[in-house]
Structure formats: C-alpha cells, structure tokens
A and B are shown apart, each in its own frame.
Chain A
Amino acid sequence: MSPLLVGEAVSRHFGGLRAVDGVDFHLDEGEILGLIGPNGAGKTTLFAVAAGSIRPTAGRVLLDGKPVSGRAAHRCVHAGICRTHQIVRPFAHLTVLENVLVGHHFGRPVPAAGRPAPSAAMEILDVIGLADRAADLPGELTLAGRKRLEVARALATGPRVLLLDEVIAGLNPVEAARFVDLIREIRSRGVAIIMIEHVMHALMSLSDRVVVLDHGRKIAEGLPDEVANDPVVVEAYLGGPDAGTA
C-alpha cells in the first residue's frame, strides 16, 4: 500500500537560511508520526509547506499521489490536510461553536448549502470535550480549552491528515494526559496525524514512528525507542562531546 502523504526532497529557504533542506517523509493511513528536533530545526516550516501556507523552494508534497504543495491554504484543506497553529489563533469575536462551524462549512471542496447547521459541529465539540462551552467566546476558555478549540476547528474540516503543532506544550500534566487520549480518539476515527511536540513522554507514547530534524535536515527516523537512543539525535539535542571545546 502506498503511503497517504509523501514529502519528496522538500526544501524551503528563506534567503540564505535553509529552514527545511531536502527532507523526505511519508505518512501511512491511520498512522501517528512524531516530528521532533531542537528549536529552529524547521519543523513548523515543514508543516507550513505541507499545509499550503508557504510554497516549497524545491521538492513537493503529495497526498494520495497528487501534489498539494504550492497550492493555496484553502485548497490544501479541501484536499484533506489541515494544520493547527502552535500559538492558537481562534476567531476572538465568534463563539466556540461558530469557530468550529467555519471549519465545518468551508473545509470541504463542495460545501453544504444554506444556513449554518450547528449539529455536526456540536458533535465534534462533544468529542473534543467543549460541548458545554459552545456559546462562550474563545477568550473565556483556558489555554487548554483554546488548544482544544484549535483542534476541534481543524477536525471539523474533515481532514485525512491532521498536522498538530505543539498542542500539548504548555498544558499541566492532567490536561496533557487528557490530550493524549483525545489524539488517540482522533486517530481511531481514521485521521492520520503528524505531530510536532516537545513534551517527549506524550510524543513517545503516541507516535508510531518518529522523524528527527536538525538544521532543516532529517537526521533520524524510526520507532520512538530507536530514535531516543540514537547517538546522532542525542548529540543534536545535547551537543556533541567536543561541543565545549570548539
């Protein structure tokens, strides 16, 4: 079976900076892929390319064998890729439910006609655990709540691939544990996920596979345990044995 999402030598340069430099990756149906790396490794840039927010300098991203990179963001969403933002960006003057309705109504290539119908969006809020906050404004939610909202909106677009950018970071341990369950639940609904995460135990327990980026390049790939013990990865995070002397 060919993978759902494939990145072929994806590069994105900003002037002289090679934020992402020839990265190959793939994501299978129903898989959770962890994407880690030190700050500035190019993780979020890779997401932005896959989600159509920015164009790749070279290479391409294919969904089901069809290229999606370089397309406008809304067309990537219609194709089935949706991203969340590391810093949540709710529509502050719309209610929680309306925020989700935006994703529900516009996330598909041929949207449902007529007035917004809240029932499908309410169902998603139920899964996400925000159903009782539907009529509140996003500003009235906690950070964990706003992160849930970010995921709920993305889920409402009916994605096949969900790109989660640090949705767990910044949450307390109890909320983080709930979020891990939530991500499992989303996967069980048939959505493949790539997640960027600095909360290692969450990422390691969720991911089927992990890709490590450093300075825009892929330096390791494999099962979570393999990657965690890979000397190249340890060096990237903690510095090499000669780091202090250089």
Chain B
Amino acid sequence: MTRWRPVAGAAAAFLALYLAPVLLPIDEYTHDIVGLTFVFMAAALAWNWVGGYVGQISFGHSAMFGVGGFVAARAMTALDLPFVLAWLAGGLIAGGYALLWGHPTLRLRGPYFSIATIGVGEATRLIATYWSDFTGGSSGVSLPLAGNPSKFELYWYGLYLLAAAVAVSYWLRVSRIGLGLLAIKEDVEAAGDLGVNPTLYQDVVLFLSGVMVGVCGGFYASYQAFIDPQDMFSFDRSIGLILMAVIGGIGTVLGPIGGAVVFVIIQEYLLANYSDLYLGLYGLLLILIILFEPQGLTGLLRRLLRLRPHRFRRERREAAT
C-alpha cells in the first residue's frame, strides 16, 4: 500500500497546480515565473539522475539545454513543426548528443568525469557561437509568433514537463534499474562483479537526462521567443542545475524541486536588487550546505521529522519482517 501513497500525493499536487491559475487570483508575472520554474525543476531533476543517482557530477548539462533549444527553434522556424514536436526533436537530438560525449567519458569517475564535462560544455558553447548558420551566432534566433504558445499557456506545458520528470525520477529510484544505479554509485567494480553492466546503465540514464534537459531547452526557447548561444550554453546554466540539486538534496527523489524554488527566488530577488552579489551568495550557500547538511533541504526536512535516511531501506525493512 505504501507504494501508492507517493503516487496519490503527486496526483493531488498536480491537480492543485493545474487548477491554481484558474481558481486563484495570480498576477501575470508570478504566473509566468512559476511556469518557467516548473521547467527548471524538471531540468534539475534530470541533472540529478546523473549527478545524484549515479554520482557522476556533470558541469556540462548546458550543452544539452542549448542543443535542445536550438534544434527546437530551428524545427519551428525552418520546418514549421508544431512546438511540442519541435521540443521533442530537440530533446531527442540533445539525448543523442549526450550519448556522443557521455559514452566515452562516463568510464571516468568522480572529479575526472566532472572535468571532462566542463570541457564538453565550453566546447559546445564555442562551437554553437561560431556556427552562426544554425544558431545565428551572437545575434541568436527569434521564434515566429505564429504557432508559438503564449507564456500564459506555457505554464501548463511546464507543469506537464515537471510531471514527466517526477515520474521518471520516481521510477528510476524504485525500479530494478534504480538498484543497479545505487550499486554503480557505491562501487562500480563490485557492481560489475555482480552482473551490473555499468556502461549500459550509465548511458541509459545520461540519455534520459539529456532528452529531458533538451526538451526543457526547447520550452525555454518558446518561452523567451528569442535565444542566443551565449545564454543557452552558458556555464552559469550548468552551475544553476547543480545548485538546484545540491540545495534541494542531491540524489534524493524530489529534493531538486525544492532546490529550484529556492534558486529562482534568490535569483529573482537578488538579480533584481544586487546583480553583482548573487553569484557570491550562491557560493556561500553551497559551502554552508556541503559543510552542514550535504543532503540539502531534504536532509534538513528529514532531520526535523526524524525520518530514516533511505525510503528504499524503509520499504525493505518492512518487506523483511
């Protein structure tokens, strides 16, 4: 029975968020920002599949965000694809791109993998900046008004993306694959010696992550109606995903959602008032979290509620008795 409780909770939350803009008097600015936050949540969850579940910290997820965004934008401008299909095309190509660099680099572990991803992110940014036929170079790409949804409508599409990301996060944790990912994270060689194929599972997870982040990039393109490579592929974007996951609780199922909320609030408030200060504050926040509560908001919440650390473990304990 316990396995249906999270599903019911998620369904209730989805319904509430779905109806909120209709029932509550929410101003336009908040409405739009919440819609965009849904997508940052989805992207942070997707980053967490690789960074948290497998323990491979990627500093290069902006690459998939940008690839997804530009492929989606071009699919709409050049091919006249409907926007949902354009996002999906962007996601799939971003997932393929993730495999292209991830398959060889995922055999590296820890800091070595992270350093490789910094290279991937920056190389992708530079290529995109100079490939002006596709990305518009430094002048970027504008999306057509016709066929592109309004920010008001995008709220619900953002919600769908978030729901999909939550579903995959949950599935990746409770399924057989989730157990294999935990084993790989703990000790990749011992996992192999028990029959887990580390290459396959890491590739699958990075692909899924790339697809989701790519679709988020496509959404972002529709949301802004104008994108340029310096923004889409910026290093800050990768760092932002890491921060959301770390603030919320790296490796937890829902933590990155809370992290994204904190991140966006800080960003909106600080960027508006103290634009020079906000990166410094993130740095400080990161240090404090890693020192005092490595599981972020989730760890804090668990400590307050005195819950046991592993829901997986609690379930097994019940099964064992």
Across the interface, do A134 and B316 meet the contact criterion of CB distance under 8 Å? yes
- Interface digits, A72-103 against B, CB 8 Å rule (1 contact, 0 not)? 11100110001101000111111101100111
Decide yes or no whether A195 CB sits under 8 A from chain B.
no
Cα distance, A122 to B316, chains bound together (Å)? 11
- Residue from B194, B199, B310, B317 within 8 A of A106 (CB atoms): B194
- Known contacts: A72-B192, A92-B186. The answer to whether A116 contacts B179 by CB under 8 A is yes
Instruction: Find B320's partner among A51, A73, A105, A134 (CB 8 Å cutoff).
Output: A134
Q: CB distance B310 to A93 under 8 Å?
A: yes
Q: A91 and B176: CB pair below 8 A?
A: no
Render A113-149 as a binary contact track against B, CB cut-off 8 A, 1 for contact.
Answer: 1111010001000000000001100000000000000
B residues less than 8 Å from A85 (CB atoms):
190, 193
Contacts of B319 in A (CB 8 A): 97, 118
Q: Counting CB contacts under 8 A, is A107 at the interface?
A: yes
Contacts A91-B183, A102-B180 given; does A82 touch B193 at CB 8 Å: yes
Interface size of A in residues (CB-CB distance below 8 Å): 40
The residue in chain B whose Cβ has the minimal distance to the Cβ of A75 is B197
Main secondary structure of the interface of B (DSSP, over half): helix
The number of chain B residues with a CB under 8 A from chain A is 28
Cα(A72)–Cα(B189), bound, Å: 11
A106 touches B180 (CB 8 A): yes
Number of A-B contacts (CB under 8 A): 107
Chain A interface helix/strand/loop/mixed: loop
Residue A203 lies at the interface, judged by CB distance under 8 Å to chain B: no
B194 touches A111 (CB 8 A): no
Bound together, the chains give a CA A107 to CA B193 distance in angstroms of 9
Contact check, A115 vs B195: say whether CB atoms are below 8 A apart. no
B273 adjacent to chain A (CB < 8 Å) = no
Give the complex CA separation of A115 and B319 in angstroms.
Answer: 13
* B320:A157 contact, CB within 8 angstroms: no
Bound form: Cα–Cα A73–B193 in Å: 6
